[in-house]
Chains A and B, each alone.
Chain A
Amino acid sequence: MTDTAPVIRVEGLTKNFGRVRALDGLDLTVRRGEVHGFLGPNGSGKSTTIRVLLGLIKATSGRVELFSGDPWRDAPRLHRRLAYVAGDVALWPGLTGGQCLDVLGSTHGAFDERRRADLVEQFQLNPTTRVRDYSKGNRQKVALVAALAADAELLVLDEPTSGLDPLMEQTFQRCVRDRRETGVTVLLSSHIMGEVEALADQVTIIRRGRTVTSGTLSDMRRHTRTVVRAVTMADPGVLTDIEGLADHQRERLAELTDSRFTIDTAHLDTAIGRLHEAGIHTLTVTPPSLAALFLRSYGETPGPDESVGEESLAETGR
């Protein structure tokens, strides 16, 4: 019945805090079964959007639907179907990690005992340690395990891996993929490009409370340039006659030729054909990184106080 309706539908959402406009006509649509990357610099309104979606704060105007319901009026009923990891994981210092898992689990709709045990092991969490003795990363793991163990249809993750080491980050990605296999929808707010790139099908990029761009990663890549570097047996000659090719550089090595260029994704086939004729020795084709897409989204619309944007972009470059 509601299977075709989006899990999350936000249209023209605005939110004012006193005189400050935190959200300014934001759009976001998350369909069933997708992992949706939600990107934006610090202070762009990601967490505010999520709080509105969870019915924690009330939208000033615009349309907000969660499972086709109104999260402000119907929060507890809708929350039965989701699990949430807050950006700043705050737990009760006097409880142990295991107790926190159960307390958090008690507020989720249902809870899979076997998955809980598996996840505790995979994330190498010691459930008998008090939360006050945990490191930041370990606190984050508690919140993640609680959310991933929940029998939820939707996972709302607000910068869930900011305190995790690279190994745990891998574990996290594997667990999210596992959950998606079972049909779970994920809203993943992040500014770690690699993570979004590895997990997300759809991406929405926001800035200053407004959606800049939204679509699949491949859609976005279609409009950007791919970097090609090829070493060929013979000299492929001057390639600049190929449509959409630019930045061409050629260098003769002993018997080989090293060519580098960027090209529109649409004309990649023609270019590779030419290289093939010259006999490919090694070939590297690098699709545009999400970071490049992200930077491009911001480069296009310089705002009045650009310093804010630049600062945040410096963050994303980590």
Chain B
Amino acid sequence: MSALHLAPDDRPRSLETMLRIVARIQRRSALTWVLVLGASLVGTAAGVAALYDTTAKIHTYAAAVTTGSTLVAINGKVEGIDSLGGVIQDEFGFMVAFLMPLLGISLVARATRREEECGRLELLLGGRIARHDPTVAALLVTTATIVSTAGLFAAGLALFGVPLAGSVLYALSVGGLAFVFAGLAALLAQLTLHSRGVYTWSLIILAASYALRGVGDVTNTWVTWLSPLGWAEKAAPFGDQRWWTLVIPLAAGLALGAAASWLAGRRDLGSALVRGGTGPDRASARLRSPIGFAVWIHRPAILGWLAGGVLLTGMMGALSHQFLGAMAGNPALAQAIGIGNGPPMDGLVAATQLYLAVIAAGYLVQAVGTLRREEGDGRLETRLSGVLSRNRWLASHAVVLLGGLMTIVLISSLVLGLATALSAGDMAEFGPALLSGLAYLPAELVLAGVALAVYGMRPRLFGIVWAGYAAMTFIAFLGPGLNFPQWALDLSPTTQVGNPPMGAVQSGALIALSALAGVLVAVGFAAFRRRGVPQN
């Protein structure tokens, strides 16, 4: 069914219908994006406004982060960093560089290629929807989400005393960033066969943009202008305020979106320019064994979370020297990342290890969630209809989960130890960095135990595990900085560890946590053996 076959008065109705469908499918994830992004910015702004409440403190901060080029490469070169808005832009720079593009990418990919590969788009295009309307509708709904997010950003900044013009320009510049990537995802959705391809290619382009922006900012050259992230930065909302730069992302996003709708109107449904390649015709012996197969299933998650852990520890380690300088100039900075009093280097390692524990626990929860998806998609049924017993299946996954956890924690801790040693010029922190990483293992395993127990008993309630993880993350990241009461801090298993190497490792607590994890895992195994499969 082509757009040409629609009577002229049917055209707007086709788009309107499609808009309603996309809005209905997306409303929950769109709302989540708006709220989470809005809350993170408001949270960051509140934290920064409270910590840097005098011009002197802001000056110290600006001086600290502009010393050397490492932080510039990570957070970007913020013009007008000598202001409250500038500090917020800098603090939020890393988050925004990934979350805003991801908002655009995920909302568009979900509404276009994923619907097409599931066959639902075929159903709609069989009705009175023109071929290009799903793409247009997806872009419109995503744009509306971006505008709402930007609105919250501007209001949030203004609320904490950032000048209005700068707030609005900042919100629009990061909104433009999301818009470019929404357009890009719409185009990629026409070119690749699966939504996975849309994500992969968009994220590769995002990583390249990040690298280009970093190179440009560090070398102070025009290279920054090649990157969408550079366009947002060059708007300089708290510096020179170049409003005209907003035209670039707008034009780029519109051009990409127009190309996408043009393609959508002309290509065959279900077709793609880039098709996946072929693979081996036989499975290796490793893939045929239960553990080898579990490794294959969990490998992408292990590598992804490992990359996150290494990035975090490498960055913190490499910057440790500069951080120490910045903290010496501004004790509040130490307070903000939860280090407080004590040897600053130990404090930095302790804070990093706590963040690493959050990463490791996230990996565990996601990995157990993968088991749930195996079941929900019906593959577990096939798997268990052979000679593999439930115990062996779950045990092989548990072994791989544990192996993945060890890999992530050990390699990341090793990187932290080496990076701090290189940055500080001595090996004093190497041992403590490694040991404190290991000390968090029981706390992380408690979360794995909770996840396995819920999976074994009621996989449907798996959302509880994610909620628990979110609470743990919140307590770990913001608890110390926002002066939570001790009982609230104690709710998180990570608090029980004792904040090594700054605090002493609580060996009694580690034993208790290990025992708790063991009991939870046993409950998970026992319940899984007794329940029906599949159960969602």
Q: Is the interface of A mostly helix, strand, loop or mixed?
A: mixed
Interface size class of B (residues with CB under 8 A): 20 to 34
Contact in complex: A76, B389 (CB < 8 Å): yes
CB-contacts of A94-117 with B (<8 A): 95-109
Contact in complex: A103, B381 (CB < 8 Å): no
Spot the interface stretch: A54-62, A221-229, A247-255.
A54-62
Instruction: Judge if B372 is at the interface, Cβ distance under 8 Å.
Output: no
Closest A residue, CB atoms, query B382: A86
Q: Which residues of B contact A75 (CB under 8 A)?
A: 384, 389-390
Interface string of A100-140 (1 = CB under 8 A from B): 11111111110000000000000000111110110000000
How far is it, in angstroms, between the C-alpha of A97 and the C-alpha of B281 when the chains are bound?
7
Q: How many residues of A contact B (CB 8 A)?
A: 42
Q: Which residues of A contact B194 (CB under 8 A)?
A: 132
Within the complex, what minimum Cβ distance (angstroms) separates B200 from chain A?
12
Q: Which residues of A contact B342 (CB under 8 A)?
A: none
Instruction: Judge if B283 is at the interface, Cβ distance under 8 Å.
Output: yes
Spot the interface stretch: B27-35, B272-280, B515-523.
B272-280
Contact in complex: B387, A109 (CB < 8 Å): yes
How far is it, in angstroms, between the C-alpha of A2 and the C-alpha of B503 when the chains are bound?
68
Q: Which residues of B contact A80 (CB under 8 A)?
A: 387
CB-contacts of B376-391 with A (<8 A): 377-379, 381-390
Instruction: Judge if B472 is at the interface, Cβ distance under 8 Å.
Output: no
Given A99-B287, A109-B387, answer yes or no on A130-B382 (Cβ-Cβ < 8 Å): no
Q: Which residues of A contact B379 (CB under 8 A)?
A: 90-92
Q: Is the interface of B mostly helix, strand, loop or mixed?
A: loop
Within the complex, what minimum Cβ distance (angstroms) separates A77 from chain B?
8
Contact in complex: B382, A129 (CB < 8 Å): no
CB-contacts of B81-119 with A (<8 A): none
Closest B residue, CB atoms, query A84: B385
Q: Which residues of B contact A101 (CB under 8 A)?
A: 283
Instruction: Judge if B532 is at the interface, Cβ distance under 8 Å.
Output: yes
Contact in complex: A96, B278 (CB < 8 Å): yes
Given A84-B382, A86-B381, answer yes or no on A96-B387 (Cβ-Cβ < 8 Å): no
How far is it, in angstroms, between the C-alpha of A88 and the C-alpha of B532 when the chains are bound?
17
How far is it, in angstroms, between the C-alpha of A23 and the C-alpha of B384 when the chains are bound?
22
Contact in complex: B288, A102 (CB < 8 Å): yes
Given A56-B533, A58-B532, A98-B283, answer yes or no on A103-B293 (Cβ-Cβ < 8 Å): yes
Contact in complex: A107, B282 (CB < 8 Å): no
Within the complex, what minimum Cβ distance (angstroms) separates B283 from chain A?
3
Instruction: Judge if B348 is at the interface, Cβ distance under 8 Å.
Output: no
Within the complex, what minimum Cβ distance (angstroms) separates A24 from chain B?
17
Contact in complex: B381, A128 (CB < 8 Å): no
Instruction: Judge if A51 is at the interface, Cβ distance under 8 Å.
Output: yes
Given A58-B532, A106-B289, A127-B281, answer yes or no on A133-B276 (Cβ-Cβ < 8 Å): yes
Contact in complex: B384, A99 (CB < 8 Å): no
Contact in complex: A86, B280 (CB < 8 Å): no
Closest A residue, CB atoms, query B392: A76
Instruction: Judge if A35 is at the interface, Cβ distance under 8 Å.
Output: no
How far is it, in angstroms, between the C-alpha of A96 and the C-alpha of B281 when the chains are bound?
7
Q: Which residues of A contact B180 (CB under 8 A)?
A: none
How far is it, in angstroms, between the C-alpha of A53 and the C-alpha of B422 when the chains are bound?
62
How far is it, in angstroms, between the C-alpha of A206 and the C-alpha of B378 when the chains are bound?
24
Q: Which residues of B contact A106 (CB under 8 A)?
A: 283, 288-289, 386
Interface string of A136-173 (1 = CB under 8 A from B): 00000001000000000000100000000000000000
Interface string of A202-244 (1 = CB under 8 A from B): 0000000000000000000000000000000000000000000
Q: Which of A56, A76, A105 contacts B381 (CB 8 A)?
A: A56
Q: Which residues of B contact A56 (CB under 8 A)?
A: 381, 384-385, 532-534
Q: Which residues of B contact A98 (CB under 8 A)?
A: 280-283
How far is it, in angstroms, between the C-alpha of A99 and the C-alpha of B278 when the chains are bound?
12
How far is it, in angstroms, between the C-alpha of A153 and the C-alpha of B532 when the chains are bound?
25
Given A57-B532, A86-B382, A90-B382, answer yes or no on A99-B387 (Cβ-Cβ < 8 Å): no
In the assembled complex, 23 residue pairs joining A and B whose CB atoms fall closer than 8 Å, in A order, are A54-B385, A57-B533, A76-B386, A76-B388, A79-B385, A82-B385, A86-B378, A86-B382, A88-B378, A95-B287, A96-B279, A97-B281, A103-B287, A103-B288, A104-B382, A104-B386, A106-B289, A107-B386, A126-B278, A128-B280, A128-B281, A130-B277, A132-B194
Other contacts beyond A86-B378, A143-B382: 5, CB < 8 A: A75-B390, A95-B283, A107-B385, A107-B386, A127-B282
The 5 closest A-B pairs by CB, nearest first: A107-B386, A90-B378, A102-B283, A57-B532, A98-B281
A-contacting residues of B (Cβ < 8 Å)? 193-194, 275-283, 287-289, 293, 297, 377-379, 381-390, 392, 530, 532-534
